[in-house]
Structure 1
Amino acid sequence: MHALSTFLSLFAAVPVVAGHAYVVPLSLDGSEACQGNTPNSNGVQSPITMINSVSPIQNTSSSDLSWGQGAQKAAKIASANPGSTVSFKWVSGTGANWPHEAGPLMTYLASGGCANSYCSSARWFKIEESGLRSDGAWAM
């Protein structure tokens, strides 16, 4: 059984790569693994990396594009097994539903031994993409 120990410590990159929001809650196999924290809060220890802002990143050379603005390493690691079901929700900076009706929305994770540091050699892979539905509305 191979644990994906770096899986959740890299979740901070998800909201930043796709836009200016963050992910909460995170569930593994139907059980809530983490409610998550509002950016720049003094929240609970979490396997989701804390970011300090959901403002759009305009410098494409910035490491913030990969890890999140002012990202702090995750305090915990959550493990998922092959075949596990992972679910999460995108929310705006206020915690409300994702506010934009435009897309697409893409979710990436990184593999590699980066659980304890932000490494530049991370290999990114897409796990989800939502786009234009058949009714003409964006799937947000």
Structure 2
Amino acid sequence: MQVVSNNLNTFRVLYIVKGVLSLLAALFFVGYLAFLNIFINESTTMPDANIDVMSVLNIIMGIGFILCLIVGILTLMAAKYIGQTCNYTFVLVIAILNCLSGILGIILGVFTIIEINKPHIKMLFDQND
């Protein structure tokens, strides 16, 4: 019987790290939003402006927080599924999604796609689905 090695455990750990970093990035948005709301008062706003700048910044920071939170949770779920070698399609989609999030995400996503497309890795995922 031939033993075939794979790097799935390494990818699982890297996905956990990436997920935690994404959750920490969500905290950046919360901290920046708190900083803006505490230290920027009404006297610094522009009275002639047609829009309220603080409202726009609050919306942008809220969207950034939600996106980072979602990406972090999905990345941690992908780490779990890689460890269990199940949900091949979900792991593939999250690998592609991670390719949109900076250099760490690009490297992790590309190498994950390469690794899970190997025939013996696909067989592992098929056995556990």
TM over 0.5: no
Choose between structure 1 and 2: higher strand proportion: 1
Q: Taking CA–CA contacts closer than 8 Å with sequence separation of 6 or more, which of the two structures ends up with the larger relative contact order?
A: 2
TM-score (norm 2): 0.24
